């Protein structure tokens, strides 16, 4: 029984298309096919259904085989593209193969067509198995990340409960003293200020707890990033344990950033957890701030940077790092799934940074750790004081 195969044909000569289909049928295939004669038709056809293979003419009156290949890849599709042509120079064929064309066949000599397609289908099967394995590994990595996140939250909950208890004890103690003083009409100002200070510290802890609210709406305003990092330092110390050393490098002349304070905490938490996950044997977690100026550029993710003044928040670790190929695939909207060695937590940080009109980039080398740089819009106003 013939084997079904879905073939998209980009050829403007009907006889050539018919020879191709006849070769497939003789090879034991039952082709479901569509023939297109323009790049516009090709684009529509690529969206209409999944295809097993694309066969294109080397050159037609309206497009080239390379145009076809580039459009297929631009759509994020990993479909094998085979080019057929009249005899051309060896250099031309070699260059097309180097670019990623599956194979190059000569018109009138299509006896290799079926073996080439069978080879490519086998390759696609192996790719699918590898992609399934990578997705499974990614899912397990995310499960481990979430499990560790719960463990971190357990440590934080215990520590914060202890802090709240201490602050409430102070507030109650000062209040008892003030109530006694009211009977004599001599209230000590320092006791009232003690109540106020304890309440302010409680408010800081409450804001830190909001970091774990996933449904918080975005409310950007001027924020002192240095003060925010300093307020969260105690939380990070609880998270990192004994094997990791926390280092802060904060610019004393830092301008305020326009960002939602809760979202800033979520960014910091996600990046800190990602850094700690990459250093199971211990290392250094470094948080730095600086004023920065960005020029117009295109990021690896395809985003266009709006030139201007920004506030830089950088989180670095001394983990194993990553190669250039892995970095190029991070935050890439054209990919259906992140790379298998994508550090957990970075997707969350990326999404929140973009919600706040910022940009996120990664600098890393194998064996030398990584630095995640977050650029947030600079505010011309004074920052909100906590």
Q: Which CATH number does the domain housing residue 102 bear?
A: 3.40.50.2300
What confidence score (pLDDT) does residue 30 get?
92
Rounded Cα distance, 7 and 60, in Å: 19
Q: Which residues contact 190 (CB under 8 A, 6 or more apart)?
A: none
The Cβ of residue 137 has, within 10 Å, a number of other Cβ atoms equal to 12
Query: Would you say residue 339 lies in a domain?
Result: yes
Of the candidate ranges 38-47, 297-306, 312-321, 338-347, the one whose mean pLDDT is the lowest: 338-347
Boundary (domain end) residue, out of 57, 92, 108 = 108
The better pLDDT of the pair 121, 46 is held by 46
pLDDT greater than 70 at residue 214: no
In a domain, 382, yes or no: yes
Is 343 in the same domain as 224?
Answer: yes
104 and 217 belong to one structural domain: no
Q: Is 323 left (phi over 0), alpha (psi -120 to 50) or beta?
A: beta
For residue 150, give the 3-state DSSP assignment: helix
Helices 261-277, 113-184: inter-axial angle, 10-degree rounding: 120
- CA–CA separation, 105 and 82 (whole Å): 8
**Structural domain count, the chain:** 2
Lowest mean pLDDT among 55-59, 94-98, 161-165, 306-310: 161-165
What residue numbers bound the domain in which 17 lies? Answer: 3-108
The pLDDT value recorded for residue 316 is: 95
Beta bridge mates, 104: 83
113 vs 216, residue with greater confidence: 113
Tell me if 207 is assigned to some domain.
no
| Whether 234 and 103 share a structural domain | no
The position carrying tokens 């003789």 is: 26
Query: How high is the pLDDT of residue 188?
Result: 77
pLDDT band at 339 (very low <50, low <70, confident <90, very high): very low
Tell me which of 50, 76, 108 is where a domain ends.
108
Residue 61 lies in a domain: yes
pLDDT at 342 over 60: no
204 occurs within a structural domain? no
Which one is predicted more confidently, 167 or 319? 319
Q: Inform me whether the pLDDT recorded for 7 exceeds 70.
A: yes
| Cross-strand partners of 370 | 317, 364
* pLDDT > 90 fraction of the chain, expressed in percent and rounded: 27
Q: What is the mean pLDDT of residues 260-276?
A: 85
**Structure tokens of 252?**
């004393």
- Give the model's pLDDT for residue 144: 61
| Residue finishing a domain among 108, 127, 161 | 108
- Amino acid 125: pLDDT: 78
Amino acid 248: pLDDT: 94
> How many whole angstroms separate alpha carbon 114 and alpha carbon 91?
24
How do residues 46-71 score in pLDDT, each as one tens digit?
Answer: 999 899 999 999 988 889 999 999 99
DSSP string, 55-91: EEESB-SS-BHHHHHHHHHHTT----EEEEES---HH
* Assigned token pair, 169: 């004890």
Q: What is the pTM of this model?
A: 0.51
Question: Is 82 part of a structural domain of the chain?
Answer: yes
Whether 299 is in a domain gets the answer yes
Contacts made by residues 240-243, CB under 8 angstroms, sequence distance 24+: 240/272, 240/276, 240/285, 242/282, 243/279, 243/281, 243/282, 243/283
Per mean pLDDT, which of 200-214, 228-242, 262-276, 328-342 is the most reliable? 262-276
Residues in the chain: 386
Query: What's the count of helices (H) and strands (E) in the chain, helices before strands?
Result: 10, 14
Are residues 380 and 236 part of one domain? yes
Q: For residue 174, tell me if it sits in a domain.
A: no
Helix H or strand E encompassing 373: strand 370-377
Q: What is the pLDDT of residue 372?
A: 93
- For position 141, what pLDDT does the model report? 62
> How far, in Å, CA of 39 to CA of 143, rounded?
43
Cβ 181 vs Cβ 187: under 8 Å: yes
We report the CATH number of the domain holding residue 330 as 3.30.565.10
């Amino acid at each position: 029984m013939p084997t079904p195969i879905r073939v998209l044909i980009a050829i403007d000569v009907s006889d050539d298309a018919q020879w191709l289909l006849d070769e497939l049928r003789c090879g034991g295939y039952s082709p479901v096919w569509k023939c297109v004669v323009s790049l516009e038709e090709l684009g529509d056809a690529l969206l209409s259904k999944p295809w097993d293979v694309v066969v294109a003419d080397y050159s037609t009156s309206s497009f080239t085989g390379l145009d076809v290949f580039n459009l297929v890849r631009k759509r994020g599709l990993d479909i094998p593209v085979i080019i057929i042509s009249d005899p051309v120079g060896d250099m031309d064929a070699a260059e097309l193969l180097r670019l990623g064309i599956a194979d190059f066949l000569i018109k009138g000599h299509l006896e290799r067509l079926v073996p080439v397609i069978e080879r490519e289908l086998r390759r696609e099967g192996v790719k699918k198995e590898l992609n399934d394995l990578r997705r499974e590994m990614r899912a397990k990595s995310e499960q481990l990340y979430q499990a560790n996140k719960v463990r971190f939250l357990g440590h934080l909950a215990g520590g914060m409960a202890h802090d709240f208890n201490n602050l409430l004890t102070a507030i109650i103690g000062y209040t008892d003293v003030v109530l006694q003083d009211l009977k004599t009409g001599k209230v000590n100002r320092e006791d009232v200020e003690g109540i106020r200070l304890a309440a302010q510290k409680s408010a800081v802890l409450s804001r830190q707890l909001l970091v774990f609210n996933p449904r918080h709406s975005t409310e950007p305003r001027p924020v002192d990033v240095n003060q925010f990092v300093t307020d969260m330092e105690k939380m990070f110390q609880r998270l990192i344990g004994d094997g990791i050393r926390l280092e802060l490098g904060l610019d004393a002349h830092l301008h305020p950033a326009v960002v939602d304070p809760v979202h800033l905490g979520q960014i910091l938490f996600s990046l800190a957890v990602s850094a700690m996950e990459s250093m199971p044997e211990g290392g250094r977690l470094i948080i730095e701030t600086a004023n920065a100026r960005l020029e117009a550029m295109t990021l690896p993710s395809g985003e266009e940077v709006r030139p201007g003044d920004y506030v830089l928040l950088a989180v670095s670790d001394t983990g194993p790092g990553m190669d250039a190929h892995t970095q190029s695939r991070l935050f890439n909207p054209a990919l259906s799934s992140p790379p298998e060695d994508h550090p957990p937590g970075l997707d969350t940080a990326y999404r929140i940074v973009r919600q706040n009109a910022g940009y996120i980039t990664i600098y890393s080398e194998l064996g030398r750790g990584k630095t995640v740089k977050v650029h947030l819009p600079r505010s011309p106003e004074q920052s909100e004081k906590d």
